[in-house]
A and B are shown apart, each in its own frame.
Chain A
Amino acid sequence: MLSLLEKWAVDGRLALGVFLLSLFGVAMIYSAGAVNTPDPVVSDAWQRQVLWFAIALLAFTLVARIPLGWWEWVAVPAYVVTLVLLAATLVVGTGAGTAASTKSWIDLGAFRFQPSELAKLATVLALARLLSTRDEPPAGLRDLLAPGLLVGVPLGFVMLQPDLGSGMVFVGVLYGMLYWAGTPPLMLLLVASPVAGLILSFDTRIWSVYIVVLFLVLYLYRYRLFLYESAAVILVNVAAGAVAAPLWRSFRPYQQNRLLVFLDSTVDPKGAGYNLLQSKVAIGSGGISGKGYLLGTQKRFDFLPEQHTDFIFSVIGEELGFVGVGVALLLLGYVLYRLVRMAEKASDPFAGLVLFGIFGLWFVHIFVNTGMTVGIVPIVGIPLPFMSYGGTFLVVSWLAAGIAVRLAHER
């Protein structure tokens, strides 16, 4: 039985993990549709998800049989094609569902898909290709310029859509792969420092302290960086601090509220804080053992927003309680753990890098999606791999799993 599974899935344990997650997802999507005033789009979603699940399994089976060499070869063309698609979304892209105001989708009549999902995978392949050709791990900031640019271009496109969630995923991919390539942690921190400078500039005193600390760090590690690199870090940080206020003012009030609500969920309980509050009420009222499958009142009475997509985890929390959340987290964690172990075993650098790219990709999806339902991460529309409703994402996630098992077992 297990050998049969191994034969089909190459790596049975990863496949089993994502398979169980997908089944769990279908069950929860079915529950999400079971509300008192049903909306056919939501109540029939599980049927479509089952269909997509079948397609995803087929795609996985095929992809798991495509050898490593082909993936190395296809990495760059795939990257270029998805960049073109991403650029196209900015012109012909349409919104969908709650993300109606963004241009994330390309509508092909009978069929819609999100190029950004494909772009994430293509970027993983292209970056793996780039990093695997290097002789040494990146040592200085200069070495990070090319990888940063490679990820920065699609990142810029998705931020223009605008799709903050996908943007965070690209950053996760970059960091996961740079880590695996052996980039010193200090460099990773310095790359991230402008973001910290942006955030901390809300208070001049805190920001001043931060800049002083940054100077100290650069001084301590003066032998590991070129002077112009240090200067660039300082310059970018100062620039981030300077643009913070005008940037904040350029946000629409609802955008500002979304961020403020993260700090204090009671800021706007009927507006921006509503989703977070209702999600927390759903999860919290689930208690240890939950209200029972299909019986969540928050969900039934329509208090939960997007309960079949972005907030599917809140339904788990409400109906299956802390026990259900624990099982789901264990499964998700296991899948990520498997990716790490597979990367460890992979002797081919390209394979290991791709596996860690997928790790970074899923890690951000999982952490941000589950974290936002309890308010430890700001609410960004980002689905939960294998569990949230959504055709493109489910198929792409299974594609990624297929690539992962294939590359991990390449000899």
Chain B
Amino acid sequence: MKTQHPHTRRRRAMGAVAGLLLTFTFLAGSFFRVQVLASSDYKLRAEDNRLKRLDVPAPRGTIFDRNGRVIADNVPGYAVTILPASRDSIMATLAQLQPYVKLTDAELSRLEATESRYPRQPLTVSADVGLEAAAALLERRSEFPNVYVEMRPQRRYVGGPAVSHVLGYIGEITSEELGSARFPADRYQPGMIVGRTGIERQYESILQGKPGVRYVEVDARGRVVGDFAGSTYRPSMAGGDLRLSIDLELQQWIDWIFPKEKMGAVVAIDPTDGTILALYSAPRFDPNDFVGGVDPELWEQLNSDPGKPLFNRAVLGLYPPASTFKLATAAIALDLGLIGPQDDMPVPCSGGMSYANRYWRCWEPQGHGSLDLAGAIQHSCDVYFYQLGLKIGLERLLQEGTTNIGMSRQCGVDLPEEKAGIFPADANFWQNRFGYSPNESEVLSLAIGQGPNSQTPLKMAQFYTALARDGSSPAPSFFIGRQDEAEGFELKLNAEGIEALRQGMRQVVGRGGTAYMSSLPYWDLMGKSGTGQNSLSLQGLADDHAWFAAIAGPRGKPPEIVVVTLVEFGGGGSAVAAPIAAKAADLYLRRKYGVPVDTIQTLREHRITGRPIR
């Protein structure tokens, strides 16, 4: 090959040029396919690449009390979010965040679990790190390239612990709940805050807002470059506001006057419409502790506390109603037209009476003599009510108690949880529970509020509401615009009968009554105490449960507030429970009628302090 003929060279060059043309046409065609034919697809992907979608949490609706005072609202919190990245880099960022956002081991493992459940989603490290930590992180922005700090609405319970059992608390939606009937997938996303208990849960659908969407521009390493100022931003929509029937000041006043260290419940109802003015259970918790995720240690503490601070005694606690039930016995007798208010019973009280080969004691061994209805209520005379029970008869008492007043039904309050009372519907109850048929003498126990009978404080408040009205009582509720209003009950009581019942209760707090010291100088207060024996008190290990049911209003006018107080192991109802009920009613009425509020309210307080009654 010392020389090549020019023709040979020409032929080979032509071949090479042909090959060159072929390959470059192929190359250009490939680029044409990607850049011209499929360009729109790739343009979308490029947009997708640089924009990361972040949800903008919506503030929950504000909750107001009946006077327009804020019970729960939202304040800006500083949320810290890690943008989607590889698991390793997220874990590294979490470790790097430690000095600024204090994370416990439990929180770290929770975040790890969240990350593995929702990979490639923004991971919220903390819903609120506080202003200081947020400022520190923003200052060191370059050290935390994929960390996003943003303002986020945070629930704030202005009402504080006092409203805990009404409002309940909130928490992050769990993966199990997501997509369930309560939390449909089209409205709920991971990381959203939902109502767990109380009103927050009951009216979740109103209070929950609609999260917005924002896009931030990021580079391939997930570093935030800035907010995307395009039209894709969709602001969040706040949840609907809610106006409750609660009177926040009354609620807080009850929290203030309820004996510390004691457990119990207070329910106040406005008898004009059956709405709840206050619902209180002690001990209570601070719903603010649940905002942004409850500390596991605190959660453990709340659950292991023997006082059960998360347990709402007002609607879930069942207590023997004891003497407070005597009004129910009386009301049933009046409803059935068995007695007149002035009638006395055949056997006068001599400290007890014989029936069915047994001697049935009155709580007063001295005896009460012959009493009319009001007197029997004032003195809570067992012998009178034994005979009244016999007059009604076991079957009728059970029937009236269950079907009419609903002693074994829920009240239908608008809270997610409520216990139904325990009250026999018929003789089968004994058969099923104790294995024997009841004889007529059971009615004697039931008539004075003993025997198989346990009620929630709310149920007793609903019953006394009927006495503060015309014998009817609507289902208690928190929300006036309620759609699902449950049915209440109605006793056929004439004005004379109601007046007799109220007169008896008035005498309880009148001169010579057991709760005279709790009487209110400025208001017409009526009440009935109860002393509920319980398994501990029967063994002498603790005091009885103290009940007091109060009805109050301006003198000569229809009652305007019903307060039922229960103090667990409180002792005597008149001594412990009555002052709480009286002081609650007094505050409510004073504010309603513009009388200056004073902490010296009951007769006893006036006497101790020597403050004159004007």
Contact = CB atoms under 8 A, between A and B. Distances in A.
Interface of A: 35-37, 131-137, 179-182, 270, 278, 280-288, 297-298, 300-304, 317, 321-322, 325-326, 329, 333, 336-337, 340-341, 343-344, 346-347, 349, 352, 356, 359, 363, 367, 370-371, 374, 376
A293 B340 CA distance: 101
Interface string B1-41: 11110101110110111001001101110111111101101
A223 B20 CA distance: 32
Contacts of B225: 36-37, 301
A280 B20 CA distance: 24
Contacts of B218: 301
Nearest to A133: B1
B234 interface: no
Interface in B138-161: 145
B598 to A, nearest CB: 67
A374 B3 contact: no
Contacts of A304: 220
Contact of B27 (A343, A346, A367): A367
B227 to A, nearest CB: 14
Contacts of A347: 3-4, 6
Interface stretch (B45-53, B273-281, B304-312, B492-500): B45-53
Contact of B13 (A134, A329, A340): A340
Nearest to B20: A336
30 contacts: A36-B219, A36-B225, A131-B1, A136-B1, A180-B12, A181-B1, A278-B220, A281-B45, A284-B46, A285-B43, A285-B45, A286-B39, A288-B35, A298-B46, A300-B219, A301-B50, A302-B220, A303-B49, A325-B28, A326-B31, A329-B28, A336-B20, A341-B13, A343-B9, A343-B13, A347-B3, A349-B4, A371-B30, A374-B34, A376-B26
B100 interface: no
The range of chain B's interface size is 35 or more
Contacts of A302: 219-221
Contacts of B8: 182
Q: Which 5 A-B pairs have the closest CB atoms?
A: A284-B42, A285-B46, A344-B13, A301-B219, A303-B220
B219 A288 contact: no
Nearest to A176: B16
Contacts of B220: 278, 301-304
B219 A137 contact: no
Query: Chain A CB within 10 Å — which of B2, B4, B43 has the most?
Result: B4
Given A278-B220, A302-B220, A322-B36, A284 B49 contact: no
B223 interface: yes
Contacts of B20: 333, 336-337, 340, 363
Nearest to A325: B31
A326 B42 contact: no
Contacts of A300: 219
A325 B32 CA distance: 9
B219 A329 contact: no
B73 interface: no
B217 interface: yes
B4 A284 contact: no
B464 to A, nearest CB: 67
B49 A352 contact: no
Given A325-B35, A329-B28, 8 more contacts: A37-B221, A181-B1, A281-B42, A284-B45, A286-B39, A297-B49, A326-B31, A347-B3
Contacts of B36: 287-288, 322
B219 A340 contact: no
A300 B218 CA distance: 10
Nearest to A344: B13
Contacts of B32: 322
A262 to B, nearest CB: 14
A178 to B, nearest CB: 11
Contacts of A131: 1
A283 B31 contact: yes
A340 B30 contact: no
A354 to B, nearest CB: 14
Contacts of A374: 30-31, 33-34
Nearest to A322: B35
Contacts of A297: 46, 49-50
A316 to B, nearest CB: 10
A322 B31 contact: yes
Contact of B39 (A181, A284, A298): A284
B89 to A, nearest CB: 12
Contacts of A352: 4, 9
Contacts of B2: 135, 349
Contacts of A376: 26-27, 30
Nearest to B31: A325
B35 A179 contact: no
B495 to A, nearest CB: 80
A132 B8 CA distance: 15
A282 B45 CA distance: 9
A135 B1 contact: yes
Nearest to A134: B1
A344 B8 CA distance: 9
B3 A284 contact: no
B42 to A, nearest CB: 3
A340 B3 contact: no
Interface string B581-598: 000000000000000000
Interface in B410-432: none
Given A37-B219, A326-B28, A367-B23, A284 B35 contact: yes
Contacts of A182: 1, 8, 12
B1 A284 contact: no
B133 to A, nearest CB: 25
B35 A321 contact: yes
Contact of A287 (B12, B26, B27, B35): B35
B323 to A, nearest CB: 73
Contacts of B45: 281, 284-285
A291 to B, nearest CB: 9
A321 B451 CA distance: 90
Contacts of B4: 347, 349, 352
Contacts of A286: 35, 39
B29 to A, nearest CB: 9
Contact of A137 (B1, B9, B39, B43): B1
A131 B220 CA distance: 50
Contacts of B50: 297, 301, 303
B34 A132 contact: no
Contacts of B17: 337, 340
A137 B17 CA distance: 21
B209 to A, nearest CB: 32
A349 B46 contact: no
Nearest to A290: B35
Contacts of B13: 340-341, 343-344
Nearest to B50: A301
Interface string B198-225: 0000000000000000000111110101
Nearest to A282: B46
A179 B12 contact: yes
Contacts of A135: 1-2
Nearest to A371: B27
A297 B48 CA distance: 11
Nearest to B226: A36
Contacts of A322: 31-32, 35-36
A286 B41 CA distance: 11
Nearest to B35: A322
Contact of B46 (A132, A281, A341): A281
Given A36-B219, A352-B4, A374-B30, A344 B46 contact: no
B1 A329 contact: no
A137 B15 CA distance: 17
Nearest to A291: B46
Contacts of A325: 28, 31, 35
B41 A284 contact: yes
A301 B223 CA distance: 9
A297 B31 CA distance: 19
